[in-house]
Structure 1
Amino acid sequence: MAESPLTIWAVSDGRAGIEAQAVGLAQAVARRRPAQVEVKTVRWKGRWGRLPWRLIPLSALAPASAIAPPWPDVWIAAGRATLPLSTRVRRWSQGRTFVVQVQHPRTSLSHYDLVVPPRHDGLTGPNVFPITGAPQRLTAERLAQDLARFADRIRPLPAPRVAVLIGGKSKAHDLSPARAAAMGAEIAQAVSRAHGSVLVTFSRRTPQPARRALTEALGALPGWIWDETGENPYFAFLAAADVILVTEDSTNLATEAAFTGKPVQLLSMDGRSKKLAAFHADLAERGALRSFRGRLETWAYPPLDETGLAAEELLRRLDGRRT
């Protein structure tokens, strides 16, 4: 008889960048093994979620989170909000659930069957599988499908088409109006010199003054600056790009850009992060990333599919535990 499909929960607090990591890994597993993926969003009542995770009582879990038995075959979680649950689900399931935590959990590794942190965190252990960057949702098929959906808008744009992926404020970085204006001027000059076009998308974290400054600087170029109306063309931008420019604040953006095999150039921001600098050095060593210094560059490298490697490792360990 055929084996029943795996049940996989992808668990996060629902923030786009965090959820994408859990969902991306879950979907990569499902592409390799029959599986049913269910996305779970953890919500804590009132202000409980702002406390250190060890102080959050399970009674504070909002019913809408729908974290209850029957427990899945595989639990894939990302983010601090999931830790009060991830550290207990193996016990709740009497050891049946294979527990995976994406990112560095900052707690004992004994709670997990597998931890998938970014390599730049430096975490090691017998149940640790570090990857370059973070798990992501992209596939070659998804890129092609999204490009086809937006082809009428993108195809007429002159090459080189330059995807510009703008992040924003974080603990380590910011994007001031002055830096945004300077960044926009540098990009505009480089694209104009190449007689190309731009495909620009902003993050929810992009400050409005920076967004306005970049829109003003790049608005006269051929291209598309997505204003968040209508369907999101982000994946189509990646698929159509000849060169991808990405701000230095986001692991997800750079990881997804490197999956395409396109040249990825890093845009500097206000602030600095040692960990992100290590991540960028890792991407550069893999041949995917160079700094943007006022001109567009082209080169080739093997596309990075670290999510696929993590999915294969997960299944290898899951199968090993079952034998």
Structure 2
Amino acid sequence: MMHAPVDHFRPLAGRSAWLLTTGAAGMDVQTRGLADALGLSYTLKPIAPKGIYKLLSPWGPVAASERFGEAGAEFAPPWPQVAIALGRTSVPYLRALRRHSPATFTILMLDTRAGTGAADAIWVPQHDRLRGENVIVTLTSPHSFTPARIEALRRTMPDEIAALPGPRVAVVLGGRNGSYKFTASDDARLAASLSSLGALGVSFMITPSRRTHHRLFNVTEAATRGFPRILWDGDGPNPYPDFLAHADMFVVTGDSVNMTGEAAATGRPVLVFHPSGGSAKFRRFHRALEAYGATRELPERVDRLPPWSYEPLHAAETIAREVERRWLARGCVHP
């Protein structure tokens, strides 16, 4: 596993870029994380193909009604020096951009089934199957919590967190998706695990996500009610960045690759709760993180706090260094 240095020459710093995604939070986290690691000056370009054009992605064209390349359209000159696209529906837009602006260096994220010729560089997480000369593979996904950002957050501890007794456990809640069901018994199982952790003398820092369903939030609230805690209920700014920086340990629901990867950027122990369901890709992801030493499965009853450490995982930095190398190798030195 490669770990890139933080301080280095950044040949793409300040260069113009478009980020092409549907605007979903999980997608923007990944494209912006990479763009920030490269130091790009970027513009978000949300895409929203409809009907047959969405169905035909990644192989079909951009709808003529979008007037791609025409003056006054959303996708028109001046063309960016770099484009980062994520997901199947972004590929037609990336293909159209390459036709109009061959000098634009293109980066495609995830295995979209469009093949290795779809972009100059392609990033996939290790649990995706695509491989090739221009394919960059990392264990976790890119995100905005760089080593420098985590270090800066750790320099100042909010009073509310400082008042919590240690060890502090950050509980990061996801929710149902296309792979995980989160049955009532799943939610009760998580509650039992959290209660047993509380009995060991920990304090909790709890944050839900957009997908967290009411029952999961409610059982988590009830299970941790008798212990020192901070419970974010969606009112006001999300304290998640400070939770990430100051937690001594994490409990993360296994439905989110992004949240698990962000916790693994800290070097602190990560206990993963596995709800019912899952998929082969999720299983490959979690097995790989366990093999690396970042995570362990959350038991239904925690009898002791299992301390361990590992080299933090910073996928955005690793991907950025590979992109820079390929940019320079292609001779992309124009201003």
Q: Work out whether the TM-score is over 0.5.
A: yes
Higher helix share: 1
**Residue 120 to residue 4, structure 1, CA distance change in 2 (3 Å):** closer
Question: Which digits, 9 at most, give the CA deviation of each residue in 1:14-72, with x for residues without a partner?
Answer: 11111111110111011xxxx31222222336x56753424564235499993222111
- The SS at the match of 2:165 is coil
Match of 2:262 in 1: 256
* Deviation readout 1:244-272 (Å, 9 max, x if unpaired): 11111111011111111111111010112
Q: Any conservation in 2 of the 1:146–1:233 contact (CA below 8 Å)? A: no
Partner of 1:313: 322
Q: What's the C-alpha RMSD, in Å, of the aligned pairs?
A: 2.4
Give the share of equivalent positions with the same residue, in percent. 33
Q: Does 1:86 align with 2:91?
A: no
Query: What secondary structure sits across from 2:198 in the alignment?
Result: helix
The number of residue pairs the alignment matches comes to 315
Question: Who is 1:76 aligned against?
Answer: 84
In 2, are the aligned partners of 1:24 and 1:136 still within 8 Å (CA)?
Answer: yes
- Gapped runs of 5+ residues in structure 1? none
Q: Could you tell me the TM-score, scaled by structure 2's length?
A: 0.87
The aligned runs of 1:132-151 (5 Å cut-off) are 132-146=139-153, 151=158
Rounded to whole Å, the distance in 1 between the matches of 2:171 and 2:245 is 13
Q: How many Å separate the matches in 2 of 1:67 and 1:23?
A: 19
- Matched residues in 2 for 1:183 and 1:3: separation? 44
Distance change >3 Å, CA 109–CA 3, structure 1 → 2: closer
Q: Give secondary structure in 1 for the equivalent of 2:85.
A: strand
The residue number in structure 2 matching 1:15 is 24
Match of 1:99 in 2: 106
Correspondence for 1:221 among 224, 227, 249: 227
Which residue of the partner structure matches residue 231 of structure 1? 237
Provide closer, same or farther for how the CA distance between residues 192 and 201 of structure 1 changes in structure 2, counting only shifts above 3 A: same
Q: 1:289 aligns with which of 281, 289, 295?
A: 295
Aligned partner of 2:196 in structure 1 is 189
- Correspondence for 2:123 among 100, 110, 116: 116
2:135 aligned residue (120, 128, 133): 128
Q: 1:58 aligns with which of 63, 86, 91?
A: 63
Which letter maps to 2:239? P
CA distance in 1, matches of 2:120, 2:98: 9
Amino acid corresponding to residue 51 of structure 1 in structure 2: L
Whole-angstrom distance in 1 between the partners of 2:32 and 2:253:
23
The separation in 2 between residues aligned to 1:226 and 1:114, in whole angstroms, is 39
Aligned to 2:48: 43
Pairwise CA distance, 1:312:
0.3
Q: Is the 8 A contact 2:53 2:62 kept in 1?
A: no
59-68 or 99-108, which moves further after superposition?
A: 59-68
Structure 2 letter corresponding to 1:213: V
Q: Structure 1 residues 89, 240: CA separation in 2 closer, same or farther (over 3 Å shift)?
A: same
